[in-house]
Amino acid sequence: METHTIHFEGMTAAQAQCFSGSQDKNLNTLSELFGTDIIFRDDTVTFRCRDEQTEQITLALHALYQVAAKERSLSNSDVIYAYRMALKGKEAEFEELSSIVVGRTLSGRPVMPKTAGQLEFVKAMQTYPIVFAIGPAGTGKTYLAVIQAVSMLKKGDVKRIVLTRPAVEAGENLGFLPGDLKEKVDPYLTPLYDALHDMLGNEQTDRLIEKGSIEIAPLAYMRGRTLDDSFVILDEAQNTTPSQMKMFLTRLGMHSHMVINGDITQIDLKFGAVSGLVEAAGILKNIKEIGMIRLSGDDVVRHPLVQKIIEEYEKAGR
């Protein structure tokens, strides 16, 4: 193993803090991922590695500096993404990622895409009336869709948000839960509620639901309706049947937007049943007014172990 140094001349104290992170957290994460010590002192990074790692570590460090130079703090997921891209011989293009703010949380924190796939998804939502986002858990499909919907509601671009999902459970039985169909499905819509609370807070979310500006309902409640001036999100779309998907898509009204999210590796339909999401992605792929986004393990923004789990399941054909 050889020792290598990279100089970042003229780095200010603020930039250095953003680059290394609090108590060198960013570089410690990168060290752990690459399996070697990465030391930062006086504008200089020093590391020891095998020859094949030299370019990868250099790419990752330059990607982090790209953000730090603007005095923008780096999250742990940013560091992990820089590492993933470096393994593929690419530098994470954080400059373009930080150029789009999807919305702001209640505390004022800007919400931006964190991966190239997320950036493509956000651009698609801002371009097409219907967008399909297909990819594994942890890629931000639901969260980004809700943030986009709330941003458009705040601007007056739509008059209401409709959040829905099919009433198919993952190995559990809704029939044993108390209440009507909506009350049974509500616990399964927790990711949607979480994103709403991030953007609006609990009280305002509840008020908008009471007013009807936000509607949360199972997919069965969409039948026979035309959804005008709405931002409609269908979550867990892999568990729709072909007839349910067709029914949902034909609810699109004037001045409305639809986002259809799903993970085709987690289909909970009865064995042999065709997923409406899989069928629709094939049938509608040539309609230029529909955005078809495919997210992958590279777009997972959870713990790095989640990406490894996804990769191993993909290798096993599961």
| Same domain (yes/no): 136, 14 | no
Residue-wise pLDDT tens digits, 86-115: 988 888 878 788 778 899 988 888 888 989
Residue 17 CA to residue 14 CA, distance in Å, equals 5
| Same domain (yes/no): 92, 110 | no
Query: Is residue 192 within 8 Å of 261, Cβ to Cβ?
Result: no
Residue-wise pLDDT tens digits, 208-246: 999 999 998 888 888 888 899 999 999 999 999 999 999
pLDDT over 80 (residue 162): yes
| Same domain (yes/no): 59, 12 | yes
Mean pLDDT of 309-315: 75
| Same domain (yes/no): 123, 230 | yes
Query: Is residue 288 within 8 Å of 124, Cβ to Cβ?
Result: no
By percentage, how much of the chain surpasses pLDDT 70?
A: 92
| Same domain (yes/no): 198, 288 | yes
pLDDT at position 178: 52
**Rg of the chain, C-alpha, whole Å:** 22
CA–centroid distance for 239 within its chain: 19
| Same domain (yes/no): 138, 78 | no
* Final residue of a structural domain among 50, 70, 97: 97
| Same domain (yes/no): 109, 207 | yes
* Final residue of a structural domain among 75, 97, 119: 97
* Final residue of a structural domain among 65, 97, 129: 97
pLDDT at position 179: 55
| Same domain (yes/no): 70, 177 | no
| Same domain (yes/no): 158, 263 | yes
Q: Which domain holds residue 83?
A: 2-97
pLDDT band at 186 (very low <50, low <70, confident <90, very high): low
Q: How many distinct structural domains can be found in the chain?
A: 2
Query: Is residue 297 within 8 Å of 136, Cβ to Cβ?
Result: yes
Residue-wise pLDDT tens digits, 269-295: 888 889 999 999 999 999 999 999 999
CA–centroid distance for 47 within its chain: 32
The closest of 174, 116, 180, 123 to 148, measured between CA atoms, is 123
pLDDT at position 182: 55
- pTM of the predicted model, to two decimals? 0.81
pLDDT at position 91: 80
| Same domain (yes/no): 162, 224 | yes
pLDDT at position 145: 96
CA angle 15, 17, 22 (to 5 degrees): 155
CATH number at residue 23: 3.30.1370.10
Helix axes 51-68, 13-20, angle to 10 degrees: 130
| Same domain (yes/no): 42, 147 | no
| Same domain (yes/no): 33, 121 | no
pLDDT at position 302: 67
